[in-house]
């Protein structure tokens, strides 16, 4: 599954994931389907929009 990253928040922030969760809540209030995930490689919380795979298949 592919995802679009809307915003990135450093995991080392004293507030932890709170900023990412607050940002995600505001986007959900606007009607967006978003989720917060942890990116271990960049040590950051990401607010992402999951992208649906196309229903059209070539087989």
| pLDDT average, residue stretch 4-16 | 90
Phi, psi of 16 (to 5 degrees): 60, -130
SS (H, E, C) 7-50: EEEECCCCCCCHHHHHHHHHHHHCCCCCEEEEECCCCEEEEEEE
Residue 56 has, within 13 A of its CA and on its CB side, a CA count of 0
- Residue 34 scores a pLDDT above 70: yes
Higher pLDDT, residue 19 or 56: 19
- Residue 54 scores a pLDDT above 60: no
Task: Specify the pTM.
Answer: 0.79
| pLDDT average, residue stretch 35-45 | 95
């Amino acid at each position: 599954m592919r995802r679009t990253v809307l915003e990135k928040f450093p995991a080392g922030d004293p507030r932890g994931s709170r900023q990412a969760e607050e940002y995600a809540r505001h986007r959900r209030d606007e009607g967006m389907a978003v989720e917060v995930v942890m990116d271990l490689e960049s040590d950051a919380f990401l607010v992402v929009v999951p992208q649906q795979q196309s229903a059209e298949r070539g087989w």
